[in-house]
Amino acid sequence: MLGSVRYAPDGEPAEDAIEAGASMLAAAEPGWEAVSAALVAAAVAGVRQCWAGGWQPADLERIVRRDAPHPARTALVVDAIAAEAARPAGRRTAHGARWDGQLRRIGAEVWWESDRGYLDALARRRRTSRFETAYDLLAALRTLARLPRISPLPDPPAAGTTSGGAPRDRDRTAAASRALGRIRGLLAKAEATDFPEEAEALSAKAQELMARHSIDEALLDGAAGSANGPSALRIGIEGPYEQAKALLLDAVAAANRCRAVWAADVGFSTLVGFPPDLEAAELLYTSLLLQATTAMNRAGDQHHARGRSRRTRDFRQTFLVGYADRIRDRLTAATEAATAAAGAESAGTAPDLLPVLAARELAVEETTGTLFPDTAPVRLRGVHDAAGWHQGRAAADRAQLDGG
C-alpha cells in the first residue's frame, strides 16, 4: 500500500492512492494501534532515507513548509524527524551540535506517549477523524519518499578541535568565544538602532573583527601544522526576492573567504569554508538581511506612497540587489584592511600570512568543486528599477558594519 502511495503519479492518481490507503487503514479497527506503530516506523525510515540523501533537519522542514499545501503536512514531517531523533543512538547515525540545534529550532520533540498511541493522540490534538489523520500522514510519507538526493555536506570538525582535527587549547577557545561575543554584540546594536549611519558603522566594525578572527585562526593552524580541511553549512533562502537574498549571502561569503552555492530548487545556499569563517558569514548575513529588509520595506513604502511607481515588487527586488552589490564592496574593503594590518603585525613573528590564506582559499575552492562539480552562474531577473538600485546602494552605505 505504501508503494502505491509513493509511486502514484502526481495529481489525481496520487490523491486516489492516498485516499484508498487511508480508507483501508482507518477501517482497521482492531489493529489501529499496530497501524500507528507501523506508520511511525515507516516515517522514521523515510526520514533516514532523507538523511542518506544529503538532507538535514532544517532543510527538510523548510522544503516541506514551502511546498506542502497546508501547515499540517509540515508538522507531521517534524514529528517524523522527532521520532527518528528519539531512536536509540546505536540504531541511528550520530550527528553534531549544529544538527541538534536544527532539531531545537524546528521544534522536533516527541510529544506523544508511545508510537502505538501516536495516531489517536494526533487525531485528538488536531480534532480530525481517523481517515483524515491517516490521509495526512500517508501524504507526508509520500513527500519524504519523493524528495531528490542532494549533495551531502562534509562532516564538521569534532567538538573541541580545530578545523584540522587537532585539540583546541582552552586559551584559544576562550579567545574565539570572546571575539564572537563582540561580533554578536555589534550586530545586535546594528539591528536595533534607528540611525542608518550608526548601523553602517557597527556592521563595518563587525566585519573587521570577523576578518581578524579568521586570520588569527588561520595563523594558529599554520603554526601548529594542522591538516586543515574546509567544512560546509546550509542557509535557507526564502521568498520573496530569493535571487537578491542569495546575492547578498554570496557577498558576505566572499568577504569571509567562503564560497556560496545557491540551489533555488531546494531553497538554500551552501556555504563552503573553514569553520570560523562559516560562523562569521552566517552571523553577518543574518544581521545584514534584517537590516536590508527593514530598509527595503521603509523605502518601498515611501516609493509607493509618493506614486513614483506601481511596480513595487520590481523596486524592492532591485533595492536588495543594489544593497548586495554595494555591501560586497564595503565588506571586501574591510577584509582587505584587516588583512593588511594583520600581515604587518605578524611580520617576522608568525608564518607568512599570504601563503597561509592562499592555501586556505585553494582548499575552499577544491572542496566546493568536489561538492558541486556542475555549478553554473545565475542570471538575475527583475532588476529594472533605477530608483530601487540607487536607494539600495545608499542603504548599503548606511548599513551598520563599526563600533564608533
**Residue 161 domain flag:** no
**Cβ 143 vs Cβ 64: under 8 Å:** yes
Q: Say yes or no: 330 and 291 in one domain.
A: yes
Q: Say yes or no: 390 and 316 in one domain.
A: yes
Per-residue pLDDT tens digits for 128-178 = 999 999 999 999 999 999 999 998 888 766 555 554 455 556 666 777 778
Q: Say yes or no: 201 and 264 in one domain.
A: yes
Q: Say yes or no: 10 and 64 in one domain.
A: yes
**Residue 208 domain flag:** yes
**Residue 141 domain flag:** yes
Residue 91 DSSP code? G
**Residue 94 domain flag:** yes
**Rounded Cα gap, residues 107 and 9, in angstroms:** 32
Per-residue pLDDT tens digits for 355-365 = 888 889 999 99
Q: Say yes or no: 205 and 275 in one domain.
A: yes
**Cβ 272 vs Cβ 261: under 8 Å:** yes
Q: Say yes or no: 113 and 180 in one domain.
A: no
**Rounded Cα gap, residues 256 and 259, in angstroms:** 9
Contacts of 173 (CB under 8 A, 6+ apart): 160
What is the pLDDT at residue 404? 37
**Residue 388 domain flag:** yes
For residue 223, pLDDT beyond 70: no
Sheet holding 259-263, edge to edge: 231-236, 268-273, 259-263
Q: Say yes or no: 274 and 365 in one domain.
A: yes
Q: Say yes or no: 90 and 188 in one domain.
A: no
What is the pLDDT at residue 300? 65
What is the pLDDT at residue 36? 94
CA atoms within 13 A on the CB side of 205: 20
- Domain count for the chain, please give it: 2
What is the pLDDT at residue 207? 81
Q: Say yes or no: 23 and 118 in one domain.
A: yes
**Residue 272 domain flag:** yes
Q: Say yes or no: 205 and 323 in one domain.
A: yes
pLDDT averaged over the chain? 83
**Cβ 209 vs Cβ 179: under 8 Å:** yes
**Residue 163 domain flag:** no
Domain stops at, among 130, 145, 160: 145
Distances (CA, A) of 180 to 52, 188, 207, 210, 395: 33, 12, 11, 8, 25
Q: What is the mean pLDDT of residues 29-44?
A: 90
Q: Say yes or no: 255 and 383 in one domain.
A: yes
**Rounded Cα gap, residues 126 and 79, in angstroms:** 13
Q: Say yes or no: 38 and 90 in one domain.
A: yes
Domain that holds residue 265: 170-398
